[in-house]
Structure formats: structure tokens, C-alpha cells
Amino acid sequence: MSLSMYQASVPVFVRALKNLAGVLHKGEAFAESKKIDPAVLINDRLAPDMFPLARQVQIATDIARRGIARLAGLEAPKFEDNEKTFADLQDRINRTIAYLETFRPQQIDGTEDKPLVVELRGNKVNFTGKEMLLHFTAPNVYFHCTTAYAILRHNGVDLGKPDFIGAMPA
């Protein structure tokens, strides 16, 4: 049995984003319990030249949404990057998950060799569907989810690998 493009993308990204939502819930609860202004965590970063937590969430959702839309030959909805609270970030994640869940396997499967052009920092990069999924979209979703996790963990939020990976299927 082979793994389809749909199986390797939509459910994987939905799971990663649901886990990210759980990580953010823990971050919000931590801020509340320690009487920390949530904006401190939302605007924190691991290094001065890295994006803050809010931007990490924005990018993770953008990459997932746009990547799946490109595979399906659609234009992804645009979201404003104006989230300032944990609730705003949760809403963005929920809207992204709802959008991803509108896709069906027949829209994504068979796109392995589909030629795609992605503009990255002003440069056009040519991919096949499989290359974009495996070498650009998935690594970027995971990078930004991981970085959001790391920002909160660095600030003392009680997180562990199960929070990032999520519950194992039964």
C-alpha cells in the first residue's frame, strides 16, 4: 500500500496545528497562573533575529493553508497578520484547520508531478507537487510549530514531547 499525497499532507497538518493549539492553551494557562501579561509570551522570541511566537503561528498556518491550496490548484484565503492574544492565535489555527478539512483526497492525490512555482523572498522556485510537500511545506510547518513550542518551553511552560506530537492513534 502506498502513501497518498493527501494522507501525507492534510491530516498531518491538521494534527500538527491541533497540537500547536494545545501548546498555546498551555502557554495561556501558564501566563494566567503566573500572572504574566500574555503579550510577553506572544511577543517573545528565542533570539533577537527570530520571529516572535505570534509570527511563528502565523507562518505555520500560512504555509499549511497555501501549500494545500497550491496542490489543489486553488488560491488560499488570505488572513491578516494581526493576532495579539492567545484567543486570536487559536482562532487563526481553527480557521486554518477548518479550511484544510474542506479538501478531499481527489483534490490532492495525483499531484506528485504537478509543476508548481512558488515565490520565496522575491525568487521563483520550481517544484513538483511532491517536492513542494516534502521539501518545503512540511518542513516549514514543523519548523514554525517547533519554534512556537520552544519559545513557550523556554519561558517555563510545562511542555513535553507528547504536547508536540499529540496522542498516539489507538
110-155 confidence digits (pLDDT tens): 999 999 999 888 999 999 999 999 999 999 999 999 999 999 999 9
* Distant-in-sequence, close-in-space partners of 88: CB < 8 Å, separation ≥ 6: 82
Please report the pLDDT score of residue 26 as a whole number. 98
Separation CA 140–CA 134 (nearest Å): 10
Beta bridge partners of 120: 123
Would you kindly state where each structural domain of the chain is located, as residue ranges? 10-157
Query: What 8-state DSSP symbol labels residue 168?
Result: P
Using CA atoms, how far apart are residues 120 and 3, in angstroms rounded to an integer? 28
pTM to 2 decimal places: 0.95
Residue with grid cell 493549539, as numbered in its chain: 21
Question: Which residues are within 8 A (CB) of 106 and not within 5 positions of it... i.e. 6 or more apart?
Answer: none
Residue 61 grid cell: 498556518
Q: What is the DSSP letter of 46?
A: S
Question: What's 81's DSSP letter?
Answer: S
Task: Identify the pLDDT of residue 1.
Answer: 58
10-157 architecture in CATH?
A: Up-down Bundle (1.20)
pLDDT, tens only, 41-59 = 999 999 999 999 999 999 9
pLDDT of residue 120: 87
Report pLDDT digits (tens) over 60-110.
Answer: 999 999 999 999 999 999 999 999 999 999 999 999 999 999 999 999 999
The phi and psi torsions of 155 (rounded to 5 degrees) equal: -85, 0
